[in-house]
Chain A
Amino acid sequence: MGLVLRAQDSTDGRPVQMADRLRADGKIYVVVAVLLTIFIGILAYVIRLDRKISRLEKK
């Protein structure tokens, strides 16, 4: 039927560059760790706010 473009193919036939080096070096875990830290930080703030409001509502 013509061209079959597979997930790994780019338009010029070379494989598409992905962050495989980052994964091989284990640095991808740094990315995950940073994001989880940010997320936990924001979460801690939201939970603290939630508890503060609950206390005010109970009074």
Chain B
Amino acid sequence: MLRKSWWKILCVILLTYTIVAGFLGAVPAKPILNETIRNLYFHVGMWFAMMVLFTVSGIYSVLYLRTGKPVHDIYALEYAKGGILFGCLGLVTGSIWARYTWGAFWSNDPKQLGAAIALLIYFAYLVLRNSMTDMDKRARIGAVYNIFAYAMLFPTIFIIPRMVDSLHPGGMGNPAMDTKDIDPRMELVFWPGAVPGWALLGVWITTLRIRVELLAEKKLSHA
């Protein structure tokens, strides 16, 4: 599966579509946002990709705890790193967007803070792993912590920011992707193009890293 081309070609097609339709397609004219509303296809795409990658990572951590196979730990680690990459890109692109719409790169907005905390929890996963020299311990404790880190994504990013006052769409109890925030013309680019496109790119980059790790492992065991 890692070496198959079809899903990589699909990724290229979907992202090309996202970029072209993203800028040439029609969007609603909203005050304050103006053309930046197109950032939906990129900034929000990053977060969806992150969620896919962290979900896969969590699943492999559970698998590792059940099987003890090192390959599952490698998958869990690399998918977590991929999630961290896309999460950081989401946070940075969100800050850039905020600078021109909210007036500042950082407003201590609940959503910004929640996302930052969620990522810090994942950074701690990397630090935790590196603090242990015993490989089995590292993988086992890492797996348990990874599952906790995944669970923490929900209160920090999805629950608390929506319960309190927030500049970010979704604050004060309103759903973030309702008809007020996204219109049908944009949904045609976002759901079939941006979401799977960025997610597949994240998976592609992650699987490349996994293949390199597996090669290194093989080399070590044959040395």
Contact = CB atoms under 8 A, between A and B. Distances in A.
A1 to B, nearest CB: 16
B19 A35 contact: yes
Nearest to A29: B24
B182 to A, nearest CB: 12
Interface residues of B, number: 22
A57 to B, nearest CB: 6
A13 to B, nearest CB: 11
Interface stretch (B8-16, B68-76, B124-132, B158-166): B8-16
A18 B208 contact: no
Interface string B204-223: 11001001100100000000
Chain B contact surface mostly = helix
B135 interface: no
B20 A53 contact: no
Interface residues of A, number: 23
Given A32-B24, A46-B204, A53-B208, A16 B31 contact: yes
B35 interface: yes
14 contacts: A10-B31, A11-B31, A15-B29, A16-B31, A16-B34, A17-B29, A32-B19, A35-B19, A36-B20, A39-B15, A39-B19, A43-B12, A46-B204, A57-B211
Interface of B: 3, 8, 12, 15-16, 19-20, 23-24, 28-31, 34-35, 183, 204-205, 208, 211-212, 215
